Structure 1
Amino acid sequence: MSLINYRTIDIDSLDPDSSINFPLETLLPGTLPPPTTSATAASTGSQIRQLLRSGDSEGALRHVLDTAPLGGNERAKEVHLATVVEVLGGIRQGEMSRVLEGVCGDGVEGGVERGDCLMKYLYKGMASQSSGSVSPSKKSSLSPQSTGGFSQIHARNLGEGGGGQQMSVLLSWHEKLVDIVGVGSIVRVMTDRRTV
């Protein structure tokens, strides 16, 4: 009897339903927009800022969600994320529900897709805030010091403006968006392969 190490067998290559046996690109819809560059995203950002300055916050939010670079490179996605966060921060809290109803409401054409896109941006903004809380240059300059039992490490810039304020804005928008589009949007965003 021969000795076979069953732990070294690649089961995925034998399974016909495995993801390595068919191209993953077939899971993406055929309606993806053409790839976007960071220059295109920057010019779109200036148009959106102009709408926001003119007082058309609903139009600015609609335009920023309709021009999301789903097929763009990572730099274009970062530039567009900054524009989305700027638009969300430029809308007053008292206007959030009205603007969301006009952009993502039940009777609005394409409202569900815009709601899902906004939910993707909210989660991406929250993730970038939590991962970018301490810069690499500050990490290397930290040295162990006696703290008397208290930690000197701060996860977020709470109370000092900056990251904590932006996280608060994103969480407020998340709450209002879930009230309008429901929790189904969260599930759709978590399972969608198209990223912003």
Structure 2
Amino acid sequence: MDVNFRKIDIDQYDEDVLLDSELYEADPRDPAQALNDVKQKAVSVRGSLSKGDIVGALSLVLEEAPYGPAAEEAKNLNLQTLVSILNSTKATEIPGVVKALSTDAQDTLMKYLYKGMALPGWGDVSGSVLLGWHEKDYITMSILDVVR
């Protein structure tokens, strides 16, 4: 019995199919440049963390974060850098840190939290850390939306 019909991509016949290129613009940097930028940020983040500047470290990671399908290696390194910041932050400091971030940085942080949770087995990321940040980020963003 021939079952090749099950391997047909029916989306190719749909006029209303949404392509990845329609969801977002591609990162203007080439993948090598994006990776180099992320490596430089990682060094700066370590310096900020050694000084105890968590807001500064987070701002560095979340500012001009790599995006798009071509920058997977840069995105993964940026996620690892972000997780090192999250792991070094006390739970009591999270609300203040989140409030100090810009709205765009809070949105990007939330995207990275979801990306971390989407990893199979969450990789070397502690689930309680991601969920704790998610809770504080979500509550802070909701409060700020009400105030605005």
Q: After TM superposition, is the score higher than 0.5?
A: yes
Q: Is the 8 A contact 2:45 2:57 kept in 1?
A: yes
**Correspondent of 1:114 among 95, 99, 105:** 105
* Structure 1 ranges of 4+ moved more than 4 A: none
Q: Are residue 34 (structure 1) and residue 35 (structure 2) matched?
A: no
Q: Is the 8 A contact 1:122 1:170 kept in 2?
A: yes
Q: Which has the larger radius of gyration?
A: 1
- Matched residue SS, 2:67: coil
Distance 2:12 2:120 in 1: 36
What does residue 52 of structure 1 align with?
Answer: 49
Q: Are residue 84 (structure 1) and residue 75 (structure 2) matched?
A: no
The Cα RMSD (Å) is: 2.9
Distance 2:121 2:46 in 1: 26
Structure 2: 5+ residue runs without aligned partners? 1-7, 144-148
1:35 to partner: Cα distance? 3.4
Q: Is the 8 A contact 1:119 1:174 kept in 2?
A: yes
Q: Is the 8 A contact 2:11 2:17 kept in 1?
A: no
Q: Is the 8 A contact 1:48 1:63 kept in 2?
A: yes
1:182 to partner: Cα distance? 2.8
What number of residue pairs does the alignment pair up?
133
Q: Are residue 179 (structure 1) and residue 143 (structure 2) matched?
A: no
Distance 2:127 2:122 in 1: 12
1:121 to partner: Cα distance? 0.8
**Correspondent of 1:125 among 111, 116, 122:** 116
Q: What's the % identity of the aligned pairs?
A: 33
Q: Are residue 25 (structure 1) and residue 21 (structure 2) matched?
A: yes
TM-score normalised by structure 2 residue count: 0.74
Q: Are residue 102 (structure 1) and residue 93 (structure 2) matched?
A: no
**Residues 28, 97 of structure 1: CA spacing in aligned structure 2 closer, same or farther, 3 A cutoff?**
same
